[in-house]
Structure 1
Amino acid sequence: MASRPPPAGRPGKPPGVSLNRALSKLGLCSRTQAELLIAEGRVRVGGKVVRDAALRVDLNRDRIVVDGAPVIAERKVYVMLNKPRGLVTTRDDPQQRDTVYACLEGLDLPFVSPVGRLDKASEGLLLMTNDTHFANRLMDPASHLPKTYHVQVGTVPDEAMLETLRAGVSVDGETLTATSIMLLRSGGRTAWLEIVLDEGRNRHIRRLLAAHGIEVKRLIRIAIGRLPLGDLAKGTARHLTPEELALLGS
Protein backbone atom coordinates (compact mmCIF):
# COMPACT_ATOMS: atom_id res chain seq x y z
CA MET A 1 0.00 0.00 0.00
CA ALA A 2 1.37 3.41 -0.93
CA SER A 3 2.32 5.54 2.02
CA ARG A 4 0.05 8.50 2.74
CA PRO A 5 1.73 11.88 2.28
CA PRO A 6 2.25 13.85 5.46
CA PRO A 7 -0.42 16.46 6.23
CA ALA A 8 0.34 19.93 5.07
CA GLY A 9 1.48 22.23 7.83
CA ARG A 10 -0.80 24.95 9.04
CA PRO A 11 0.11 28.32 7.65
CA GLY A 12 1.31 30.78 10.25
CA LYS A 13 -0.62 33.90 11.17
CA PRO A 14 0.01 36.96 9.00
CA PRO A 15 2.34 39.52 10.59
CA GLY A 16 0.98 42.23 12.84
CA VAL A 17 -1.93 42.11 15.28
CA SER A 18 -5.70 41.97 14.87
CA LEU A 19 -7.40 45.33 14.47
CA ASN A 20 -9.38 45.09 17.71
CA ARG A 21 -6.23 44.21 19.62
CA ALA A 22 -4.37 47.07 17.93
CA LEU A 23 -6.93 49.59 19.22
CA SER A 24 -6.52 48.15 22.71
CA LYS A 25 -2.71 48.20 22.52
CA LEU A 26 -2.81 51.82 21.39
CA GLY A 27 -4.75 52.68 24.56
CA LEU A 28 -8.02 53.67 22.90
CA CYS A 29 -10.41 51.12 24.39
CA SER A 30 -10.89 47.48 25.34
CA ARG A 31 -10.97 44.76 22.68
CA THR A 32 -14.72 44.34 23.22
CA GLN A 33 -15.31 48.06 22.70
CA ALA A 34 -13.03 47.98 19.65
CA GLU A 35 -15.13 45.21 18.08
CA LEU A 36 -18.22 47.41 18.43
CA LEU A 37 -16.48 50.41 16.85
CA ILE A 38 -15.32 48.24 13.96
CA ALA A 39 -18.75 46.65 13.44
CA GLU A 40 -20.34 50.11 13.36
CA GLY A 41 -18.04 51.17 10.50
CA ARG A 42 -16.28 53.83 12.58
CA VAL A 43 -12.75 52.54 11.96
CA ARG A 44 -10.63 53.13 8.85
CA VAL A 45 -7.29 51.55 7.99
CA GLY A 46 -5.33 53.16 5.17
CA GLY A 47 -8.32 55.32 4.34
CA LYS A 48 -10.77 52.42 3.97
CA VAL A 49 -13.58 51.47 6.33
CA VAL A 50 -12.87 48.08 7.92
CA ARG A 51 -15.55 45.93 9.54
CA ASP A 52 -13.37 42.88 10.19
CA ALA A 53 -11.97 42.94 13.76
CA ALA A 54 -9.57 40.11 12.87
CA LEU A 55 -7.85 42.09 10.09
CA ARG A 56 -4.08 42.06 10.72
CA VAL A 57 -2.49 45.50 10.92
CA ASP A 58 1.03 46.80 11.45
CA LEU A 59 1.12 49.31 14.29
CA ASN A 60 4.30 50.87 12.91
CA ARG A 61 3.03 51.37 9.34
CA ASP A 62 -0.77 51.32 9.08
CA ARG A 63 -2.72 54.54 9.68
CA ILE A 64 -5.74 53.77 11.85
CA VAL A 65 -8.50 56.35 12.17
CA VAL A 66 -11.55 56.23 14.46
CA ASP A 67 -14.41 58.69 13.95
CA GLY A 68 -12.15 60.77 11.73
CA ALA A 69 -9.30 61.11 14.22
CA PRO A 70 -5.97 59.24 13.91
CA VAL A 71 -5.28 56.86 16.77
CA ILE A 72 -1.96 57.73 18.40
CA ALA A 73 -0.23 55.49 20.93
CA GLU A 74 -0.80 56.76 24.46
CA ARG A 75 1.98 57.23 27.00
CA LYS A 76 2.70 54.14 29.09
CA VAL A 77 1.13 54.32 32.53
CA TYR A 78 1.41 52.02 35.54
CA VAL A 79 -1.12 52.25 38.34
CA MET A 80 -1.57 50.46 41.64
CA LEU A 81 -4.89 50.41 43.47
CA ASN A 82 -6.22 48.97 46.68
CA LYS A 83 -9.26 47.03 45.51
CA PRO A 84 -12.18 46.96 47.96
CA ARG A 85 -14.40 43.92 48.35
CA GLY A 86 -17.47 43.96 46.11
CA LEU A 87 -15.91 45.29 42.89
CA VAL A 88 -15.30 43.13 39.83
CA THR A 89 -12.01 43.29 37.93
CA THR A 90 -13.35 44.18 34.51
CA ARG A 91 -14.38 47.26 32.56
CA ASP A 92 -17.54 46.01 30.87
CA ASP A 93 -19.70 43.87 33.16
CA PRO A 94 -22.82 42.31 31.59
CA GLN A 95 -24.45 42.19 35.03
CA GLN A 96 -23.89 45.93 35.56
CA ARG A 97 -21.93 45.37 38.78
CA ASP A 98 -19.58 48.02 40.13
CA THR A 99 -16.05 47.63 38.73
CA VAL A 100 -12.53 48.56 39.78
CA TYR A 101 -12.62 51.42 37.27
CA ALA A 102 -14.58 53.39 39.86
CA CYS A 103 -11.28 53.58 41.80
CA LEU A 104 -9.60 55.41 38.91
CA GLU A 105 -11.89 58.43 38.86
CA GLY A 106 -9.89 61.62 39.19
CA LEU A 107 -6.75 60.20 37.57
CA ASP A 108 -5.87 61.46 34.09
CA LEU A 109 -5.43 58.09 32.37
CA PRO A 110 -5.64 56.53 28.92
CA PHE A 111 -7.40 53.18 28.66
CA VAL A 112 -5.77 50.75 31.10
CA SER A 113 -6.39 47.07 31.81
CA PRO A 114 -5.93 45.02 34.98
CA VAL A 115 -2.77 42.93 35.29
CA GLY A 116 -4.39 39.67 36.37
CA ARG A 117 -7.50 39.62 38.51
CA LEU A 118 -8.90 39.61 42.00
CA ASP A 119 -12.35 38.08 42.37
CA LYS A 120 -15.29 40.15 43.58
CA ALA A 121 -14.95 39.09 47.23
CA SER A 122 -11.17 39.65 47.35
CA GLU A 123 -9.31 42.82 48.26
CA GLY A 124 -5.91 44.42 47.99
CA LEU A 125 -3.17 45.17 45.52
CA LEU A 126 -4.14 45.29 41.85
CA LEU A 127 -1.99 46.69 39.06
CA MET A 128 -3.38 48.34 35.93
CA THR A 129 -1.54 49.48 32.81
CA ASN A 130 -1.72 50.09 29.08
CA ASP A 131 1.70 48.44 28.59
CA THR A 132 0.83 44.99 27.28
CA HIS A 133 4.45 43.79 27.30
CA PHE A 134 4.76 44.71 30.98
CA ALA A 135 1.47 42.99 31.82
CA ASN A 136 2.28 39.84 29.86
CA ARG A 137 5.67 39.55 31.55
CA LEU A 138 4.15 39.78 35.02
CA MET A 139 1.40 37.27 34.19
CA ASP A 140 3.65 34.78 32.41
CA PRO A 141 3.57 31.55 34.50
CA ALA A 142 7.24 31.04 33.65
CA SER A 143 8.13 34.16 35.64
CA HIS A 144 6.99 32.52 38.92
CA LEU A 145 6.35 36.02 40.29
CA PRO A 146 5.28 35.53 43.92
CA LYS A 147 2.05 37.07 45.14
CA THR A 148 1.45 37.37 48.88
CA TYR A 149 -1.98 37.21 50.52
CA HIS A 150 -3.30 37.62 54.05
CA VAL A 151 -6.29 35.35 54.50
CA GLN A 152 -8.72 35.27 57.42
CA VAL A 153 -10.18 31.80 57.87
CA GLY A 154 -13.05 30.49 59.99
CA THR A 155 -10.92 28.08 62.00
CA VAL A 156 -7.63 27.98 63.89
CA PRO A 157 -5.46 25.45 62.06
CA ASP A 158 -2.85 23.51 63.99
CA GLU A 159 0.56 22.65 62.58
CA ALA A 160 -0.69 19.33 61.21
CA MET A 161 -3.39 21.11 59.20
CA LEU A 162 -0.86 23.66 57.92
CA GLU A 163 1.37 20.82 56.73
CA THR A 164 -1.60 19.25 54.96
CA LEU A 165 -2.35 22.54 53.22
CA ARG A 166 1.30 22.95 52.21
CA ALA A 167 1.20 19.53 50.55
CA GLY A 168 -1.37 20.78 48.04
CA VAL A 169 -4.51 19.15 46.72
CA SER A 170 -6.07 18.09 43.41
CA VAL A 171 -9.33 19.88 42.62
CA ASP A 172 -11.25 19.34 39.37
CA GLY A 173 -8.16 17.90 37.75
CA GLU A 174 -5.90 20.78 38.81
CA THR A 175 -3.14 20.51 41.40
CA LEU A 176 -3.36 23.49 43.74
CA THR A 177 -0.27 24.26 45.77
CA ALA A 178 1.23 27.26 47.55
CA THR A 179 4.84 28.40 47.80
CA SER A 180 4.38 28.92 51.54
CA ILE A 181 1.61 28.96 54.14
CA MET A 182 2.15 30.27 57.67
CA LEU A 183 -0.02 31.21 60.63
CA LEU A 184 0.12 34.94 61.37
CA ARG A 185 -2.20 35.18 64.36
CA SER A 186 -5.36 33.69 65.79
CA GLY A 187 -8.14 34.69 68.12
CA GLY A 188 -11.36 33.00 69.12
CA ARG A 189 -12.57 30.89 66.22
CA THR A 190 -10.67 32.60 63.43
CA ALA A 191 -7.09 32.97 62.28
CA TRP A 192 -5.05 34.92 59.74
CA LEU A 193 -2.76 33.04 57.37
CA GLU A 194 -0.07 34.37 55.05
CA ILE A 195 -0.17 32.47 51.76
CA VAL A 196 2.31 33.00 48.93
CA LEU A 197 1.57 31.78 45.39
CA ASP A 198 3.88 31.76 42.39
CA GLU A 199 1.05 30.94 39.99
CA GLY A 200 -2.50 32.21 39.73
CA ARG A 201 -5.20 29.69 38.96
CA ASN A 202 -8.87 30.68 39.13
CA ARG A 203 -9.91 31.22 42.79
CA HIS A 204 -6.73 29.36 43.73
CA ILE A 205 -6.64 30.02 47.47
CA ARG A 206 -10.38 29.69 48.01
CA ARG A 207 -10.46 26.32 46.24
CA LEU A 208 -7.38 25.06 48.07
CA LEU A 209 -8.86 25.89 51.46
CA ALA A 210 -12.39 24.77 50.57
CA ALA A 211 -11.02 21.34 49.67
CA HIS A 212 -10.12 20.99 53.36
CA GLY A 213 -13.41 22.42 54.63
CA ILE A 214 -11.88 25.78 55.59
CA GLU A 215 -14.02 28.91 55.14
CA VAL A 216 -12.40 32.07 53.81
CA LYS A 217 -13.71 35.17 55.54
CA ARG A 218 -11.38 37.75 54.01
CA LEU A 219 -8.68 37.54 51.35
CA ILE A 220 -6.30 40.47 50.83
CA ARG A 221 -3.38 40.60 48.39
CA ILE A 222 -0.64 42.56 50.13
CA ALA A 223 2.25 42.26 47.66
CA ILE A 224 3.17 41.39 44.08
CA GLY A 225 6.79 40.33 43.86
CA ARG A 226 8.74 42.82 45.96
CA LEU A 227 6.08 45.51 45.53
CA PRO A 228 4.00 45.95 48.72
CA LEU A 229 0.49 47.37 48.98
CA GLY A 230 1.77 49.59 51.76
CA ASP A 231 -0.52 52.22 53.25
CA LEU A 232 -2.53 52.95 50.09
CA ALA A 233 -6.08 53.66 51.25
CA LYS A 234 -8.78 51.20 50.25
CA GLY A 235 -10.57 52.22 47.07
CA THR A 236 -7.84 54.60 45.94
CA ALA A 237 -5.26 54.41 43.15
CA ARG A 238 -2.02 56.14 42.21
CA HIS A 239 0.79 55.93 39.68
CA LEU A 240 3.73 53.67 40.45
CA THR A 241 7.01 55.44 41.12
CA PRO A 242 10.16 54.57 39.13
CA GLU A 243 11.51 52.87 42.26
CA GLU A 244 8.39 50.71 42.52
CA LEU A 245 8.61 49.76 38.85
CA ALA A 246 12.19 48.69 39.51
CA LEU A 247 10.90 46.33 42.23
CA LEU A 248 8.90 44.61 39.48
CA GLY A 249 11.93 44.33 37.25
CA SER A 250 11.06 47.21 34.93
Structure 2
Amino acid sequence: MRLDKLLGNLKYGSRSDIKDAVKDGRVTVDGIVISDPGLDVNPETSMIAFDGEPVFYRKWVYLMMNKPKGVVSANEDSIHPTAVGLLQHPYDRFDVSICGRLDLDTEGLLVLTNDGDVLHRIISPKAEVFKTYEVELKSPLHDYSQLETGVRIKDGKEQYYITLPAQVEPTGERTCRIRISEGKFHQVKRMIEAIGNEVVGLRRTAIGGLTLDPTLAPGAYREMDYEEVLRAIG
Protein backbone atom coordinates (compact mmCIF):
# COMPACT_ATOMS: atom_id res chain seq x y z
CA MET A 1 0.00 0.00 0.00
CA ARG A 2 1.25 3.50 -0.78
CA LEU A 3 2.34 5.38 2.32
CA ASP A 4 0.31 8.48 1.47
CA LYS A 5 -2.81 6.39 0.85
CA LEU A 6 -2.39 4.60 4.18
CA LEU A 7 -2.00 7.84 6.13
CA GLY A 8 -4.86 9.45 4.22
CA ASN A 9 -7.18 6.54 5.02
CA LEU A 10 -6.27 6.99 8.69
CA LYS A 11 -7.15 10.70 8.56
CA TYR A 12 -3.67 12.12 9.00
CA GLY A 13 -4.56 14.78 6.47
CA SER A 14 -5.14 15.35 2.78
CA ARG A 15 -2.77 13.93 0.21
CA SER A 16 -1.02 17.30 -0.04
CA ASP A 17 -0.81 17.55 3.77
CA ILE A 18 0.83 14.14 3.93
CA LYS A 19 3.19 15.00 1.08
CA ASP A 20 4.31 18.09 3.01
CA ALA A 21 4.70 16.07 6.22
CA VAL A 22 6.91 13.55 4.45
CA LYS A 23 8.93 16.37 2.88
CA ASP A 24 9.45 17.85 6.35
CA GLY A 25 10.78 14.54 7.68
CA ARG A 26 7.85 13.87 10.01
CA VAL A 27 7.22 10.29 8.82
CA THR A 28 9.41 7.27 9.50
CA VAL A 29 9.21 3.62 8.48
CA ASP A 30 11.12 1.17 10.65
CA GLY A 31 13.00 4.11 12.15
CA ILE A 32 14.10 5.55 8.81
CA VAL A 33 12.97 9.04 7.77
CA ILE A 34 11.04 8.74 4.50
CA SER A 35 11.24 11.20 1.62
CA ASP A 36 8.88 9.48 -0.83
CA PRO A 37 5.15 9.71 0.01
CA GLY A 38 4.43 7.07 -2.63
CA LEU A 39 6.63 4.48 -0.94
CA ASP A 40 5.05 1.02 -0.90
CA VAL A 41 4.69 -0.14 2.72
CA ASN A 42 3.22 -3.09 4.56
CA PRO A 43 1.49 -1.61 7.63
CA GLU A 44 1.09 -5.05 9.17
CA THR A 45 4.83 -5.72 9.32
CA SER A 46 6.48 -2.26 9.25
CA MET A 47 6.69 0.19 12.14
CA ILE A 48 5.33 3.46 10.77
CA ALA A 49 5.40 6.65 12.82
CA PHE A 50 3.98 10.12 12.26
CA ASP A 51 5.55 12.91 14.33
CA GLY A 52 7.16 10.19 16.42
CA GLU A 53 3.84 8.53 17.25
CA PRO A 54 3.32 4.93 16.05
CA VAL A 55 0.60 4.60 13.41
CA PHE A 56 -2.09 2.21 14.65
CA TYR A 57 -3.29 0.03 11.79
CA ARG A 58 -5.97 -2.60 11.37
CA LYS A 59 -7.36 -3.74 8.04
CA TRP A 60 -10.62 -4.46 9.85
CA VAL A 61 -11.59 -3.07 13.23
CA TYR A 62 -14.43 -4.46 15.36
CA LEU A 63 -15.67 -2.56 18.40
CA MET A 64 -18.22 -3.41 21.08
CA MET A 65 -19.84 -0.38 22.73
CA ASN A 66 -22.26 0.04 25.60
CA LYS A 67 -24.32 2.89 24.17
CA PRO A 68 -25.75 5.20 26.83
CA LYS A 69 -29.11 6.95 26.67
CA GLY A 70 -29.05 10.34 24.97
CA VAL A 71 -26.52 9.26 22.34
CA VAL A 72 -27.54 8.88 18.70
CA SER A 73 -26.56 5.75 16.78
CA ALA A 74 -24.95 7.77 14.00
CA ASN A 75 -21.67 9.15 12.69
CA GLU A 76 -22.84 12.78 12.76
CA ASP A 77 -25.71 14.70 14.31
CA SER A 78 -26.30 18.42 14.73
CA ILE A 79 -28.15 18.11 18.04
CA HIS A 80 -27.10 15.06 20.04
CA PRO A 81 -23.76 13.38 20.76
CA THR A 82 -23.15 10.36 18.55
CA ALA A 83 -21.90 6.85 19.18
CA VAL A 84 -19.08 7.28 16.67
CA GLY A 85 -18.20 10.59 18.33
CA LEU A 86 -17.47 8.71 21.56
CA LEU A 87 -14.52 6.96 19.91
CA GLN A 88 -11.11 8.25 20.90
CA HIS A 89 -7.61 7.70 19.52
CA PRO A 90 -6.74 5.48 17.76
CA TYR A 91 -10.20 4.22 16.80
CA ASP A 92 -11.46 7.65 15.79
CA ARG A 93 -9.21 7.38 12.71
CA PHE A 94 -11.29 4.53 11.26
CA ASP A 95 -14.41 5.00 9.12
CA VAL A 96 -16.70 2.65 11.04
CA SER A 97 -20.39 1.93 10.57
CA ILE A 98 -22.92 0.86 13.19
CA CYS A 99 -24.31 -2.67 12.85
CA GLY A 100 -27.90 -2.17 13.94
CA ARG A 101 -28.87 1.18 15.41
CA LEU A 102 -30.50 1.88 18.76
CA ASP A 103 -33.00 4.65 19.55
CA LEU A 104 -31.84 7.79 21.35
CA ASP A 105 -33.31 6.63 24.67
CA THR A 106 -32.28 2.98 24.26
CA GLU A 107 -29.01 1.77 25.74
CA GLY A 108 -26.84 -1.29 25.36
CA LEU A 109 -24.88 -3.26 22.81
CA LEU A 110 -23.62 -1.66 19.61
CA VAL A 111 -21.17 -3.22 17.17
CA LEU A 112 -19.09 -0.81 15.09
CA THR A 113 -16.86 -1.91 12.23
CA ASN A 114 -15.31 -0.94 8.91
CA ASP A 115 -15.87 -4.49 7.63
CA GLY A 116 -18.76 -4.22 5.18
CA ASP A 117 -19.27 -7.98 5.03
CA VAL A 118 -19.79 -8.24 8.79
CA LEU A 119 -22.08 -5.19 8.71
CA HIS A 120 -24.26 -6.80 6.05
CA ARG A 121 -24.36 -10.18 7.78
CA ILE A 122 -25.60 -8.59 11.01
CA ILE A 123 -28.21 -6.17 9.64
CA SER A 124 -29.51 -8.05 6.59
CA PRO A 125 -33.09 -9.29 7.20
CA LYS A 126 -32.18 -12.49 5.35
CA ALA A 127 -29.53 -13.28 7.97
CA GLU A 128 -32.20 -13.45 10.71
CA VAL A 129 -29.73 -12.53 13.45
CA PHE A 130 -31.66 -12.35 16.73
CA LYS A 131 -31.24 -9.31 18.96
CA THR A 132 -31.98 -9.60 22.68
CA TYR A 133 -33.53 -6.77 24.68
CA GLU A 134 -34.22 -6.30 28.37
CA VAL A 135 -37.52 -4.44 28.58
CA GLU A 136 -39.03 -2.44 31.45
CA LEU A 137 -42.79 -1.93 31.15
CA LYS A 138 -45.20 0.65 32.48
CA SER A 139 -47.78 -1.96 33.47
CA PRO A 140 -47.56 -5.63 34.48
CA LEU A 141 -47.17 -8.03 31.58
CA HIS A 142 -50.09 -10.44 31.71
CA ASP A 143 -50.52 -11.80 28.20
CA TYR A 144 -47.68 -11.74 25.69
CA SER A 145 -48.89 -14.54 23.42
CA GLN A 146 -49.57 -12.07 20.59
CA LEU A 147 -45.89 -11.14 20.52
CA GLU A 148 -45.00 -14.78 19.97
CA THR A 149 -47.27 -15.06 16.94
CA GLY A 150 -46.80 -11.58 15.45
CA VAL A 151 -48.52 -8.23 15.94
CA ARG A 152 -49.61 -5.52 13.50
CA ILE A 153 -47.48 -2.38 13.79
CA LYS A 154 -46.16 0.41 11.58
CA ASP A 155 -42.65 0.37 10.16
CA GLY A 156 -40.34 3.35 9.63
CA LYS A 157 -42.34 4.38 6.55
CA GLU A 158 -45.60 4.31 8.52
CA GLN A 159 -46.78 1.25 6.63
CA TYR A 160 -48.52 -1.52 8.55
CA TYR A 161 -47.04 -4.99 8.64
CA ILE A 162 -47.12 -8.12 10.82
CA THR A 163 -44.00 -8.75 12.86
CA LEU A 164 -42.25 -12.08 12.84
CA PRO A 165 -42.76 -14.15 16.00
CA ALA A 166 -40.74 -12.92 18.97
CA GLN A 167 -39.30 -14.95 21.81
CA VAL A 168 -40.56 -13.55 25.12
CA GLU A 169 -39.37 -14.42 28.62
CA PRO A 170 -40.95 -12.65 31.62
CA THR A 171 -38.27 -11.68 34.15
CA GLY A 172 -40.45 -9.79 36.63
CA GLU A 173 -43.89 -8.29 37.07
CA ARG A 174 -43.03 -5.35 34.80
CA THR A 175 -39.94 -6.66 33.02
CA CYS A 176 -39.26 -9.15 30.27
CA ARG A 177 -36.63 -10.31 27.81
CA ILE A 178 -37.52 -10.13 24.12
CA ARG A 179 -35.60 -11.63 21.20
CA ILE A 180 -36.44 -10.52 17.66
CA SER A 181 -34.78 -11.11 14.30
CA GLU A 182 -36.06 -7.91 12.70
CA GLY A 183 -34.97 -4.32 13.20
CA LYS A 184 -37.84 -2.07 12.19
CA PHE A 185 -38.18 1.51 13.41
CA HIS A 186 -39.01 1.55 17.16
CA GLN A 187 -39.98 -2.09 16.77
CA VAL A 188 -39.91 -3.31 20.37
CA LYS A 189 -41.71 -0.19 21.59
CA ARG A 190 -44.40 -0.50 18.92
CA MET A 191 -44.85 -4.20 19.58
CA ILE A 192 -45.45 -3.50 23.26
CA GLU A 193 -47.85 -0.68 22.39
CA ALA A 194 -49.75 -3.08 20.14
CA ILE A 195 -50.63 -5.23 23.16
CA GLY A 196 -51.73 -2.26 25.26
CA ASN A 197 -48.60 -1.61 27.30
CA GLU A 198 -45.69 0.85 27.16
CA VAL A 199 -41.90 0.57 27.26
CA VAL A 200 -40.28 2.76 29.91
CA GLY A 201 -36.79 1.26 29.67
CA LEU A 202 -35.01 -0.62 26.90
CA ARG A 203 -31.55 -2.15 26.77
CA ARG A 204 -30.02 -4.41 24.11
CA THR A 205 -27.86 -7.10 25.66
CA ALA A 206 -27.01 -9.41 22.76
CA ILE A 207 -26.70 -9.66 18.99
CA GLY A 208 -26.82 -13.30 17.97
CA GLY A 209 -24.50 -15.09 20.38
CA LEU A 210 -22.49 -11.94 21.13
CA THR A 211 -23.31 -10.64 24.61
CA LEU A 212 -22.61 -7.17 25.93
CA ASP A 213 -19.50 -7.18 28.12
CA PRO A 214 -20.78 -6.48 31.67
CA THR A 215 -17.56 -4.63 32.51
CA LEU A 216 -18.28 -1.89 29.96
CA ALA A 217 -19.71 1.23 31.58
CA PRO A 218 -22.20 3.33 29.56
CA GLY A 219 -20.25 5.04 26.78
CA ALA A 220 -17.29 2.66 27.05
CA TYR A 221 -16.12 0.36 24.27
CA ARG A 222 -13.44 -2.19 23.51
CA GLU A 223 -11.95 -3.90 20.49
CA MET A 224 -13.01 -7.43 19.53
CA ASP A 225 -11.21 -10.02 17.46
CA TYR A 226 -12.90 -11.73 14.53
CA GLU A 227 -13.57 -14.91 16.50
CA GLU A 228 -15.66 -12.91 18.95
CA VAL A 229 -17.51 -11.20 16.11
CA LEU A 230 -18.42 -14.63 14.73
CA ARG A 231 -20.69 -15.09 17.73
CA ALA A 232 -22.89 -12.34 16.30
CA ILE A 233 -22.99 -13.56 12.72
CA GLY A 234 -22.91 -17.32 13.35
Work out whether the TM-score is over 0.5.
Answer: yes
**Number of residue pairs the alignment of both structures matches:** 183
Indicate yes or no: 2:134 matched with 1:135: no
Instruction: For residue 117 of structure 2, give the secondary structure of its aligned residue in structure 1.
Output: helix
Amino acid in the other structure paired with 2:81? D
Superposed displacement of residue 115, structure 1: 0.9
Take 1:180 and 1:27, find their aligned partners in 2: how far apart are those partners? 42
- Identity within the alignment, %: 30
- Spell out, residue by residue over 1:158-190, the C-alpha distance to the aligned partner (whole angstroms, 9 max, x if none): 2xx11133232212321124430121112xxxx
Residues 104-123 of structure 1: pairs in structure 2 closer than 5 A: 104-108=87-91, 109-123=93-107
Q: Is the CA contact 2:147–2:166 (under 8 Å) kept in the aligned structure 1?
A: no
Instruction: For residue 206 of structure 2, give the secondary structure of its aligned residue in structure 1.
Output: strand
2:213 maps to 230
Find the partner of 1:90 among 74, 78, 89.
74
Find the partner of 1:179 among 163, 166, 174.
166
Indicate yes or no: 2:152 matched with 1:165: no
In structure 2, list runs of 5 or more residues that go unmatched.
1-7, 16-36, 44-56, 155-159
2:223 maps to 239
Residues 17-36 of structure 1: pairs in structure 2 closer than 5 A: none
Q: Is the CA contact 2:65–2:110 (under 8 Å) kept in the aligned structure 1?
A: yes
Amino acid in the other structure paired with 1:176? T
2:51 maps to none
Q: 1:107 to 1:213 in 2, by over 3 A?
A: farther
In structure 1, list runs of 5 or more residues that go unmatched.
1-25, 30-41, 44-67
Superposed displacement of residue 106, structure 1: 4.2
Q: 1:221 to 1:178 in 2, by over 3 A?
A: farther
- Spell out, residue by residue over 1:98-132, the C-alpha distance to the aligned partner (whole angstroms, 9 max, x if none): 11124312443412111120010111000000111
Q: Is the CA contact 1:84–1:123 (under 8 Å) kept in the aligned structure 2?
A: yes
Superposed displacement of residue 242, structure 1: 4.1
2:22 maps to none
2:135 maps to 151
TM-align CA RMSD: 2.9
Take 1:221 and 1:170, find their aligned partners in 2: how far apart are those partners? 22
Q: 1:141 to 1:69 in 2, by over 3 A?
A: farther
Instruction: For residue 133 of structure 1, give the secondary structure of its aligned residue in structure 2.
Output: helix
- Spell out, residue by residue over 1:116-151, the C-alpha distance to the aligned partner (whole angstroms, 9 max, x if none): 200101110000001111101111111111111000
- Spell out, residue by residue over 1:183-237, the C-alpha distance to the aligned partner (whole angstroms, 9 max, x if none): 1112xxxx11100001111111111111222111111000011110031221101
